[in-house]
Structure 1
Amino acid sequence: MDSGKVINMVPKFKMSKGLITFGLVALILLIVTLNAFVIINAGQRGIVLQLGAVRPVVLTEGLHFKIPFIQDVVHVDVRVQKSQSDQTAASKDLQIVTTTVAVNFHLEPNQVNKLYQNVGLAYGERIVDPAIGEAVKAITAQYTAEELISKRSEVSAKIKETLALKLATYYMILDEINITEFKFSEEFNNAIEQKQIAEQQALKANLDLQRIEIEAKQKIEQAKAEAESLRLQKQEVTTELVKLREIEAQIKAIEKWDGKLPNVTGGAVPFVDVNSAQ
């Protein structure tokens, strides 16, 4: 090869090498720049890990700087979450009760780094679900099966209080708890149904008895009123009143008489037939 051509190729090679080096440096700087910032979305918090260790700082919503390749950020949702499950427990009178419980809770935003350090992100199955089961069993055992139904709001309030204390230990806040259903055994349901039928029959019998008693009292009072009326009338009867009633009766008889005498009468003195005599 001609030595002149080789000499001419050296500057071109050096120029190409310089461009490649510049490109690599620019690419590295771009990657470093992009890796130096992190965005925390709404309803989230950022847990900073520096070489695997949890930092005490918690990143709020927005844009943040982090040390490239040294720090990592774990995004954690701090909005309200729901956990619903069926919990089986024994009541005070040893009835098996299946309770459907819906729980709303959220993480303490400023303590998510401690939760991550102590529990991790699987806090639902590790903490929340077992805590719900334990709270339901503890409170259900304090009431009979019938009381669980009649005192539903009280039972729910006690479960909420017990569960809130358990979740607070792991930096979680209980928002609300709803008991959507109580399920009992078929034998217990049949017993409740028979009891309700018996209570309805007893109520009907009691109402009938009250009605009979009221009617009897009404008849007694009516009889008393009639007796009192007769007593008052008897007190008012005098000889003059009797004669007056007799005269009134005779007057009514005369008013009804058609002017004809009877043809025959029983007795010693016969009546004369006036018509035949005429």
Structure 2
Amino acid sequence: MLKLIISIALFAAAIVLTVVSVARKSIGGRIHATAAGAAMCLIAAIGLHAFAIVPAGHTGVRVHLGNVSETVLASGLHWKTPVLDKIVNVNNKIQRADVQGETSTKDLQAIGANVSVNYNVSPGAAATLYRDVGGKVADTIIKPAIQEAIKSTFAMFTAEELITRRSEVSQLIQESLSDKLDHYGIKVHEMNILDMTFSEEYNAAIEAKQTAQQNALKAEQDLARIEVEAKQKVVEAQAEADANRIRSESITANILTSEFLNKWDGKLPSVVSDGSQLFQIPIAGN
């Protein structure tokens, strides 16, 4: 900061001296207002290009006559040599890259995937990345790396596993991507699979499989219901048989005699037999 303040002071002094010198060279030593004004405008224009501001969340990369300096600049105001130097701002904030890729699964099913990755460029890597790829970090490095990570990971799973083990697939893609980008000074913060699309043939096969599973489940449920109903009928029949048995066992001779007497009208039979002859017993009143 002290160096910057001294540079500004020296630059201001140079402006004043230049204006005075130009003015004194006018006719008769008299101050020529037009010449002085022109000189001040020229120097001011040059002075405007002697400073650069690196905004927050960025790193400044100094380029001198086309050569990239390895020393990066932090956010703030910085001195530069007019015309000879320029300062390029490299974004170090978390950025998002969206990639749509197509590949094949372990069981050779065609699949498309939309993937979103959050990343940021390390301040220490800003100069090297600018020198190597300019401002096209996402298109030159990140997106191709995402495509490769998707292909290598999806090839490890069947189409069905990509659905049932989606969180595991996402984690493996992020780990693969981090390995590829770390040596560039690019940090991967988060990776999300937004959606996956399968071929029409595979979707039809999945639908048919689900229909078959639903039919099989319905058949199992129907069979279970029939078995329960049959068991209920057996239980009901057994209960009725047990009731009849208990009722039969409870009918004793005394109960039969009691029932007979309750129903008898008090009249004796009029015919008696000894087994060989029948004869009638006269009964009074007859």
TM-score (norm 2): 0.76
Q: Select the residue among 109, 125, 139 that pairs with 1:95.
A: 109
1:60 aligns to 2:74 (yes or no): yes
Partner of 2:94: 80
Partner of 1:40: 54
SS at match of 1:187: helix
Q: Select the residue among 183, 206, 212 that pairs with 1:198.
A: 212
Q: Supply the distance in 1 between the matched residues of 2:26 and 2:114 (Cα, whole angstroms).
A: 78
1:171 aligns to 2:185 (yes or no): yes
Q: Supply the distance in 2 between the matched residues of 1:247 and 1:73 (Cα, whole angstroms).
A: 128
Unpaired segments ≥5 residues, structure 2: 1-24, 266-279, 281-286
Measured after TM superposition, the shift of residue 76 of structure 1 is 1.6
Greater mean alpha carbon deviation, residues 170-179 or residues 194-203 = 170-179
Measured after TM superposition, the shift of residue 104 of structure 1 is 2.0
Q: Supply the distance in 2 between the matched residues of 1:247 and 1:186 (Cα, whole angstroms).
A: 89
Q: Supply the distance in 1 between the matched residues of 2:244 and 2:193 (Cα, whole angstroms).
A: 70
Deviations 1:99-154 (A, max 9, x none): 11122222113321122123321122211111111000011111111111122222
Structure 1 residues 96 and 12, CA, compared in 2 at 3 Å: closer, same or farther? closer
Measured after TM superposition, the shift of residue 189 of structure 1 is 1.0
Contact 2:26 2:32 in 1 (8 A): no
Partner of 2:119: 105
Q: Supply the distance in 2 between the matched residues of 1:193 and 1:214 (Cα, whole angstroms).
A: 31
1:221 aligns to 2:232 (yes or no): no
Q: Supply the distance in 1 between the matched residues of 2:242 and 2:77 (Cα, whole angstroms).
A: 101
Q: Supply the distance in 1 between the matched residues of 2:174 and 2:89 (Cα, whole angstroms).
A: 28
Q: Supply the distance in 1 between the matched residues of 2:232 and 2:97 (Cα, whole angstroms).
A: 64
Greater mean alpha carbon deviation, residues 70-79 or residues 82-91 = 70-79
Q: Supply the distance in 2 between the matched residues of 1:102 and 1:247 (Cα, whole angstroms).
A: 99
Contact 2:124 2:185 in 1 (8 A): no
Structure 1 residues 131 and 245, CA, compared in 2 at 3 Å: closer, same or farther? farther
Greater mean alpha carbon deviation, residues 228-237 or residues 160-169 = 228-237
5 Å-filtered alignment, 1:1-278, equals 13-15=27-29, 22-23=36-37, 25-248=39-262, 250=263
What letter matches 2:255 in structure 1? L
SS at match of 1:169: helix
SS at match of 1:88: strand
Q: Supply the distance in 2 between the matched residues of 1:42 and 1:71 (Cα, whole angstroms).
A: 21
SS at match of 1:45: strand
Partner of 2:19: none
Measured after TM superposition, the shift of residue 54 of structure 1 is 2.4
Q: Supply the distance in 1 between the matched residues of 2:124 and 2:46 (Cα, whole angstroms).
A: 29
SS at match of 2:150: helix
Measured after TM superposition, the shift of residue 12 of structure 1 is 7.1
